[in-house]
Amino acid sequence: MLGKGTNVEDVYLILLDTQILIYFIPYLYLFVVFLIQRRQGENGSDVVLAPGGSIGRWLTALSGIIVTLFAMIIATIPPPDMGNSLLFRLKVIGGALGFILIGGLIYWHARLKEKQTKLAVS
């Protein structure tokens, strides 16, 4: 998976950058949900409004999305002493997608099991 000639330091950096990508994904969701919630006008008593109205809402969400994407892009940049930068990026992005896929499969399996249990009880 990591390839012949990959040393421990390179593997550590690949795993670290992979986890950084996975770590920032929920933040992208949060900023998108922030926009959707405010657009729908849900202004309950426990909702904190962004200052500046609609413009402030867009600036807050877009700046959050841009900074988060920037951090994710930075995580895919290999160190200067890394041999093949394209291979490094493929390993980091592929690893992140692999972990997300594994998590999704575990979730879908549990969800299917839960539905089967509910049908058996009914």
Number of domains in the chain: 1
Q: 17 lies in a domain? A: yes
Q: How far apart are CA 95 and CA 6, in angstroms?
A: 15
What angle do the packed helices 8-39 and 53-75 form, to 10 degrees?
A: 170
Q: What are the φ and ψ backbone dihedral angles of 19, each rounded to 5 degrees?
A: -70, -30
Residue-wise pLDDT for 36-83, tens only, equals 876 655 555 566 677 787 888 889 899 999 999 999 999 999 988 887
Given a cut of 70, whether residue 91 has pLDDT beyond it is: yes
Reported as a pLDDT band with limits 50, 70 and 90, residue 102 is: very high
**Domain, as residue range, for 19:** 8-121
Nearest partner of 72 among 32, 25, 12, 2, judged by Cα: 25
Given this model, what pLDDT does residue 43 score? 58
Give domain status of residue 41, yes or no: yes
pLDDT reading at 115 higher than 70: yes
Comparison of pLDDT for 85 and 42, the residue scoring more: 85
Query: Tell me, what amino acid is at 9?
Result: E
Say how far apart CA 24 and CA 108 lie, in whole Å. Answer: 22
